[in-house]
Amino acid sequence: DAGVIQSPRHEVTEMGQEVTLRCKPISGHDYLFWYRQTMMRGLELLIYFNNNVPIDDSGMPEDRFSAKMPNASFSTLKIQPSEPRDSAVYFCASSTRLAGGPGTGELFFGEGSRLTVL
Amino acid sequence: EDQVTQSPEALRLQEGESSSLNCSYTVSGLRGLFWYRQDPGKGPEFLFTLYSAGEEKEKERLKATLTKKESFLHITAPKPEDSATYLCAVLYSGGYQKVTFGTGTKLQVIP
């Protein structure tokens, strides 16, 4: 399997522009997570899906952020309008197991999308 | 409120100089504690899961241990290729499927 695939790897945009980040999870994984990583705050969970349904979006910072998962093989994270403080590396991760049992919690991460908002 | 705290923030070792990284947690109802390795420009890569106090896991030069309040990642005779950021994360009863990460320890091993 190719692993979790994210695009674009790098995005530079100007404040106020719309940004769309994309993710293809590992086939067969029914959990998908979006994280944001900064030097100051580390990895923060933004939202996660189970079987394409958003389960918890409490980490989404503002209404400017939205995420969708139209099918099991694709998810998007959209920022509109973007602001300089949104600059970070955004990771998508997928997982196949429910919490609490053997092997749970192992997340498979993509290589991230580095976003710079000028 | 910090739920997962890692120390030190950075660690520089000579090749062969063993040491330990610490991860302390304040969550209740721990369901799992995880260690990940992250190389520059890459996503985190899973290393270990620990479920209960007293449990230990080993992989090559790495050994992870767990108590009721903290976990240690012991690195024995490290090599330069062990240089990376090591992340600790927890899954707990109140967090459902949310895996909460610490900010990591950046390890540099000097030849």
pLDDT band at A114, cuts 50/70/90? very high
A71 or B91, higher pLDDT? A71
Other beta carbons within 10 angstroms of residue B53's beta carbon come to 13
Measure CA A104 to chain center: 19
Q: Percent of chain A beyond pLDDT 70?
A: 92
In this predicted structure, what is the pLDDT of residue A44? 92
Interchain CB distance below 8 Å, B44 and A99: no
B19 or A1, higher pLDDT? B19
How far is B99 from B90, CA to CA, in rounded Å?
Answer: 6
Q: Give A 44-73 residues with CB within 8 A of chain B.
A: 44-45, 48, 50, 55-56
Other beta carbons within 10 angstroms of residue B75's beta carbon come to 22
User: For A83-102, how does the pLDDT look when each residue is reduced to its tens digit (9 = 90+)?
Assistant: 999 999 999 999 887 554 55
In this predicted structure, what is the pLDDT of residue B103? 92
A104 or A59, higher pLDDT? A59
